[in-house]
Amino acid sequence: MKTFRKGGIHPSENKLSAGAAIEEFALPDVVVLPLSQHIGAPATPVVAVGDHVVVGQLVAEATGFVSARVHASVSGTVVAIEPRLNPQGIKQPAIVIRREEDQWAPEIDRSQRVVTECVLSGAEIIEKIRRAGIVGLGGATFPTHVKLTIPAGRKAEFVIVNGAECEPYLTSDQRVMTERSGEVVEGARLLAKALGVTRVLIGIENNKPEAIARMTEAAARYPEIEVVPLRMKYPQGGEKQLIAALTGREVPPPPALPIDVGAVVSNASTVLAVYEAVQKDKPLVERVVTVTGKGLKEPKNLLVRLGTPMSALIEVAGGLPEGDCKVLGGGPMMGRAMIQLDAPVTKGCSGITVLSGADASRQPAQTCIKCAKCVAACPMGLEPYLLSKGAQRQKWEALEAGDVTSCIECGCCQATCPAHLPLLDWIRLGKQTVSGMIRARAMAQTSRK
Amino acid sequence: MEVLLFTVLTLCALGVLSAVVLYFVARRFRVEEDPRIDEVEKMLPGANCGGCGFAGCRGMADALVTHEDISALYCPVGGAECMNRVASYLGKSAPVKEAQTATVRCGGACAQRPRTNTYDGARSCAVAASLYAGETGCAFGCVGFGDCVKVCTFGALRMNPQTGLPEVDPEKCTACGACVKACPKHIIELRKRWPGNRAVYVSCVSHDRGAAVMKACKAGCIGCGKCVKVCPFGAITLDKNLAYIDPQKCRLCRKCVNECPTGAIVLSNMKPLPVDKVQVKE
């Protein structure tokens, strides 16, 4: 069975919610839609306070090419356009809508029928994806239409559907692939058509046999689509790791992109959103969120309107446990701890993990014994202990030479460190600083020209 | 014996040859350097702190010698005395700059600003600030891991364990600005240094609205604007719910200190205004 070659670890799976079917979450009374739910420039509001909006109506237009639209996720009145706290306690501009009824935009097809025919051209498909405000729903939130716009001189050979979901605890993609396999397969075909590609690979880790079976069944009609079971290893769902696992090709270090080896990777939930946008004219207004963790009584997979407060989701799953706990946006490996649970669900929120007791806190850091476990675990072939030290000593040039910008922030180094050192914390700081330096240098160069 | 002689002679010949080559190379590529640069470098404090904007004292010395007008160059560590000495040696007019000291503009001590969560990542302000708002309800205030203390080469900063905030020793502070750069929350400011280290400043940088500030911290500026009205010198401005006292216009009259309802305006090394002039406050 296939997997990627370099590094990787095997954290406990803890897929508590794997058997929980997707439930539609009750409509929230108020939604908060941040203008920046994606990588790139924040969107610009096109509604004013007091306006009445319906579900699926455009409320904020993309600002420039690398940006994404935001649509109303409930029908009602816009009550405020103001900075609101994000999960990390920092204010970011957002549109606040108070819900009245549940009125959808008339062009949206809400029937369950799976549409298999598509008469649109590739460019039209990409335009529909852009208009729907779709971004990578796996967590990276990179605008999908930008990813599908292939730079001149490159050619896509594969569409890869990322169904690895290697992150412990999270099961949203798994449930989407199990329950809506037909639509995901149609979405993958649309992506292939948009790119003019004849080969689609769907990579799913072998701890999801039901999803593999359903997807294989749904894809059986189409010879160009192949469902590939993958041997479990974290971070298989990393774009570069998945490409390596499925095609054996290695993406060179930045600024190279997956398209340089002919691959375009999209997460399974994103592919479902693409299908809905193209065939049902439905913009990205809801997503599946896993609410899980050993601290919760009833781990669930919920279909949630964007902008719903996360605290409401936690309440439905049994509420926060007694005592101190850690609430993560995402899973335990890549998730970020949250301090504002009233913050809204955004496009990139694939799960909420509640850890309690001993899981909730880190072990005290000790001294590095140079065991090099982090080097062996790094799926990008970096030297995490050196990068971490370099960031502490502010040796930015050394970090750049050590290829810190290649770091995918998967957290393998930190998870495997026997001294419990906060390696990733420092490397992330180093990566931010070095990326800033590289950008500044590029700016200086262009302005000199 | 013959082998030994041959070896010694070969090495000698090589040595002579290299000496000749090096002689011509050194003449051909000789760099003319002003001897005054060495002298000026000796006059500078030798802290290599970078407070002047150059990488070290050598760079500063080079600039002092080569620049015609040195009014824009200033060594904050050596101060006026050092600059005067350098200027008289070089026969140029010394740059004039008022004395400054680093000022920590956050009064959110542990007692005033309750913790709302616990951070257990790397003990660094830069890392914590890049991750989230901080351990308290205030997203603007000091995160308290002492990055400023770590960068201070003069031992002028220390963390006060009682308040959880850094404290500046104005006697040791040279206003090199290293802490200002290191603080990810931009709390530390270089302000005019009055005789006796007297100071009046707004010890808060929160742009939150009053209610949010009150909820997060008892010592924060709520942007009420009372200080702006009472200031007879027009030194105080209010921008995005935050008062700021211009150190150039402030004359230490202390009226604002008595007016401030939260105690965000801090008075140091000075007595407050006499009691009969103080309005009764809750």
The CA distances from residue A109 to A278, A297, B12, in Å, are 11, 36, 94
Euclidean distance between CA atoms B250 and B269, whole angstroms: 16
User: Would you place residue A431 in the very low, low, confident or very high pLDDT band (cuts 50, 70, 90)?
Assistant: very high
Considering the entire predicted model, what is its pTM? 0.86
Same domain, B64 and B151: no
Beta strand ranges found along chain B (DSSP E): 100-104, 157-160, 165-168, 188-192, 199-202, 236-239, 242-245, 265-268
Q: Do B44 and B140 reside in the same domain of the chain?
A: no
Contact B130 A362 (CB under 8 A): no
CATH superfamily of the A122-280 domain = NADH-ubiquinone oxidoreductase 51kDa subunit (3.40.50.11540)
Q: Assign A140 a pLDDT band (cuts: 50, 70, 90).
A: confident
Q: Is residue B123 part of a domain?
A: yes
Q: Are residues B145 and B201 in the same domain?
A: yes
- Specify the residue for token string 């998945």: A242
Which three-class secondary structure state does DSSP give residue B36? helix
In a domain, residue B69? The reply is yes
B85 located within any domain: yes
CATH architecture of the domain A286-360 equals Roll (3.10)
How high is the pLDDT of residue B275? 59
b/e string for A276-315 if b means 16 or more Cβ within 10 A? bbbbbbbbbbbbbbbbbbbbbeebbbbebbbbbbbebbbe
- Mean pLDDT of the A133-161 span: 92
Give the one of A324, A336, A429 whose C-beta lies nearest to B126's C-beta.
Answer: A429
The answer to whether the A23-99 and A286-360 domains have the same CATH topology is no
User: Helices B79-90 and B57-66, interaxial angle, to 10°?
Assistant: 40
Chain A positions contacting chain B at CB under 8 Å are: 88-91, 324, 336-337, 339, 361-362, 392, 422, 425-426, 428-429, 432
Chain B interface, best mutation among A429, A433, A434, by max B CB count within 10 A: A429
With a cut of 90, say whether residue A357 has pLDDT above it.
no
Domain co-membership, B41 together with B115: no
- Condensed to tens digits (0 to 9), the pLDDT of residues B15-49 reads 999 999 999 999 999 888 888 999 999 999 888 88
**Which of B120, B127, B134 faces A429 most closely, judged by CB atoms?**
B127
- Do residue B203 and residue B68 come from a single domain? no
Inform me whether the pLDDT recorded for B280 exceeds 50: no
Structural domain of B110? 100-277
Instruction: Kindly report the average pLDDT of chain A as a whole number.
Output: 93
**In the predicted structure, residue B281 carries a pLDDT above the cut 60:** no
Q: Which of B130, B143, B181 best tests the A interface by mutation, with the highest count of A CBs <10 A? A: B130
CB contact under 8 A, A422 and B131: no
* B183-222 pLDDT per residue, tens: 999 999 999 999 999 999 999 999 999 999 999 999 999 9
**pLDDT for A290 beyond 90:** yes
Percent of chain B past pLDDT 70, that is, above it, reads 97
CATH code (residue B86):
1.10.15.40
What is the CATH class of A23-99?
A: mainly beta
pLDDT (tens digit, 9 = 90+) per residue, A231-247? 999 999 999 999 999 99
Q: Which residues in chain B are contacts of A362 at CB distance < 8 A?
A: 120-121
With beta carbons under 8 A apart, name residues in chain A contacting B118. 324, 361
- DSSP state for residue B1 in the 8-state scheme: -
CB atoms A429 and B124 under 8 Å: yes
CATH number at residue B219: 3.30.70.20
State the pLDDT at residue A404: 95
**Averaged over A272-295, what is the pLDDT?**
95
Same domain for B146 and B42: no
Specify the number of domains making up chain B.
2
Last residue of a domain, one of B58, B90, B122: B90
Within-domain flag for B9: no
B22 lies in a domain?
A: no
Chain B residues touching A429 at Cβ < 8 A? 122, 124, 126-127, 130
pLDDT in tens, A391-403: 999 999 999 999 9
Q: What is the pLDDT of residues B112-128, one digit of tens each?
A: 999 999 998 899 999 99
Mutate to test the interface with B, among A425, A427, A428, A433 (most CBs of B within 10 A): A425
* Together in a domain, B114 and B55: no
Q: Can you give the pLDDT at residue A305?
A: 96
Say yes or no: B67 and B200 in one domain.
Answer: no
**Residue A48: count of CB within 10 angstroms of its CB:** 8
Q: How far is A92 from chain B (nearest CA, A)?
A: 12
pLDDT of residue A144: 95
Q: Is residue B104 domain-shared with residue B86, that is, in the same domain?
A: no
**B26 lies in some domain:** no
CB–CB contact A89 B132 (8 Å): yes
Question: pLDDT category, A370, cuts 50, 70, 90?
Answer: very high
- List the domain boundaries for chain A: 23-99, 122-280, 286-360, 373-448
| Contact with chain A for residue B117, Cβ under 8 A | yes
pLDDT in tens, A166-184: 999 999 999 999 999 999 9
Same-domain pairing of B55 and B116: no
Confidence of residue A282 (pLDDT cuts 50, 70, 90): very high
Instruction: Give the residue-averaged pLDDT of B167-181.
Output: 91
Whether residue B116 is found in the same domain as residue B224: yes
Q: Quick one: pLDDT at residue A216?
A: 95
Do B153 and B208 fall within a single domain?
yes
